[in-house]
Amino acid sequence: MLYPSLEAAEKLGCTVVNMRWAKPLDEALLREVALSHEGLVTLEDGCVMGGAGSAVLEALQRMQLTKAVLMLGLPDQFIEHGDPAKLMAMQGLDARGIEASVCQRYGF
């Protein structure tokens, strides 16, 4: 998900932080990013429910930081099998879909 994120971020002028892994979450970096940005977007190629975005929200709550967070990922439902790029695009998880979601949520 890094490359579609970078492509969308370049068009929007946004910062991208590559989590590389969800556990252990780098809470010091999360705090730094949260304090220096108005909103956050998490993006994952798995289900949003119980995923990396949820871990980010939990960490922000522990830090008592209230921040707008847009969590992008797969819905908690069956996804058809097929070409991964096409399937991700159908879920809005390609560069164009990410850009559209961010624009809609944050008014770019």
The reported pLDDT for the residue numbered 36 is 97
The reported pLDDT for the residue numbered 23 is 82
- Topology of domain 2-106, per CATH? Rossmann fold (3.40.50)
Mean pLDDT by 10 residues, the chain (108 residues): 95 92 88 96 93 95 97 90 92 97 93
The reported pLDDT for the residue numbered 21 is 76
The reported pLDDT for the residue numbered 91 is 94
The reported pLDDT for the residue numbered 79 is 84
Which 3-state string (H, E, C) describes the chain?
Answer: CHHHHHHHHHHHCCCCCCCCCCCCCCHHHHHHHHHHCCEEEEEEEEECCCCHHHHHHHHHHHCCCCCEEEEEEECCCCCCCCCHHHHHHHCCCCHHHHHHHHHHHHCC
